[in-house]
Amino acid sequence: MERDEKQQHDNDEPLFIREAVVKELLSWNDCVDALESALVAATNSNKSADKPFSSQTPRTFTPVPGKGVLLSMPGFIGNYPLQTVTGNERHSTLACKLVTSFSGNSKLNPPLPSILATILMFNADTGRLKAIVDGTEITAWRTAAVSLVATKHLYYSSRRFNSSNDYTLAICGTGAQGRIHAIGMLTYFPNFFSKLNLWNRTKSRAVKLRDELNKLFPGLTIAVLDNSTDCVNDADVIVTATNSSTPLFGKNDLRKSSVHINAIGAGTNHHSELALDIYQSGSVFIESNLGIQTELKGIEAYVKGEIGEVIKDEQRRDNSEKISVFQSMGNALEDGVMANLIYQKFIRL
Ligand SMILES: NC(=O)C1=CN([C@@H]2O[C@H](COP(=O)(O)OP(=O)(O)OC[C@H]3O[C@@H](n4cnc5c(N)ncnc54)[C@H](OP(=O)(O)O)[C@@H]3O)[C@@H](O)[C@H]2O)C=CC1
Ligand SMILES: O=C([O-])C1=[NH+]CCC1
């Protein structure tokens, strides 16, 4: 099958990379490295011979009344470094992700993921379609891996040398994103977290994830909590990944002196999971200023900067502040570099 798919490509037909193949080619270290490139490119829109740059328009939302929404996410990333088997090379990628969000899919029999995606890759010199890459698993991994980047630069890097790696991770919402975030955080930051707190509106799903993670991470203490405030109370790093349109917790629910939050989910908007006092007292970082006027409209917070600026060390968390928030939205540049990462691995198989 794979040989036939590559043969097709040799005949100049677009390559199709299916989900099972994508899954085999994903690894956390590669994803984090590639996404750091995308996030740095997001900070620079000027064509450059020596620096990563990008060109992007806001994504579109086509509602399907009563069911869900189709998003189109086009983006170009120029001159960015990508580690492949042949070394560190410079790449340019033109891609468009088409992604649907149908929250009722989990109730189907058999259930389907609520987020389903396809990424179209184009030859960046001619515009010709080059590959169609299944984007469902890429969306799951890239969203978690961007949270890893944010957590690494805003929290982990200043704490990793502490002798007691006695940190607690809390995950609110144990759907597809909650699950992949738990696996990513525990794999990418090995031995950093000694405890994992899980909360989900439907408790049985949190219990199911606990049982899966117990097998993957023996030795880790995993608690399933009855409410979201108890889940985050003793947490150092928090992930929220729900469709909740009302806040899951506020500043007074956090006991630790320094907390980092990755807010992933979208209820009525992309800032509905956290209480206002968190946004107003924390340092808030985002992937790209592009979404600020539209998707973060109404956020009553001072947004300190883009994660790419933190990576470049032009922005940082003020360590006197108790809370940092990475407000995730998802960005087409991330999908473009991830599709290319998979494409580059696939053609060398
Ligand atoms: N920032 C980004 O780049 C991305 C963001 N997302 C967003 O992340 C969120 C989770 O996505 P995903 O995990 O794929 O979806 P899933 O359908 O797999 O999971 C949805 C989760 O949200 C919970 N939930 C739904 N409604 C509520 C509510 N009113 N209050 C509390 N919990 C609720 C569900 O709980 P229950 O089990 O009880 O139904 C479940 O845990 C979505 O909002 C999605 O749009 C997704 C991909 C990328
Ligand atoms: O960036 C993304 O792919 C998405 N953000 C919200 C739903 C899907």
Which H or E run includes 77? strand 68-84
Question: How many angstroms does the Cα of residue 243 sit away from the middle of ligand 1?
Answer: 4
| Residue 161 pLDDT > 80 | no
Residues 181 and 314 in one domain: yes
CB of 150 within 8 A of CB of 38?
no
Residues 215 and 158 in one domain: yes
| Residue 3 pLDDT > 60 | no
For residue 65, how many C-alpha atoms fall within 13 Å in the half-sphere facing its CB? 0
pLDDT computed for residue 158 by the predictor: 85
Top mutation candidate among 71, 242, 335 for ligand 1, by most atoms within 8 Å of CB: 242
Average pLDDT over residues 85-91: 91
Residues 125 and 258 in one domain: no
| Residue 40 pLDDT > 60 | yes
Residues 289 and 342 in one domain: no
pLDDT computed for residue 284 by the predictor: 96
User: Mind listing the pLDDT tens digit for each residue in 236-277?
Assistant: 999 999 999 999 999 999 999 999 999 999 988 889 999 999
Distance CA 304, CA 320 (A): 15
Average pLDDT over residues 294-320: 91
CATH of the domain at 173: 3.40.50.720
Residues 161 and 286 in one domain: yes
pLDDT-based confidence at residue 320 (cuts at 50, 70, 90):
confident
pTM for the full model? 0.97
Percent of the chain with pLDDT over 90: 85
Residues 275 and 315 in one domain: yes
Residues 178 and 250 in one domain: yes
User: Mind listing the pLDDT tens digit for each residue in 121-138?
Assistant: 999 999 999 999 999 999
Distance CA 170, CA 254 (A): 11
Residues 208 and 262 in one domain: yes
The pairing of strands 87-101 and 115-122 is: antiparallel
Quote ipTM for the complex.
0.99
CB of 182 within 8 A of CB of 151?
no
Residues 311 and 342 in one domain: no
Residues 81 and 173 in one domain: no
Domain count, the chain: 2
Residues 14 and 121 in one domain: yes
Closest atom of ligand 1 to CA, residue 330: 3
Average pLDDT over residues 140-157: 97
Residues 153 and 300 in one domain: yes
Domain with 280, as residue range(s), is: 145-330
Closest atom of ligand 2 to CA, residue 270: 6
Pick the closest to residue 196 from 285, 140, 139, 211 (CA basis): 211
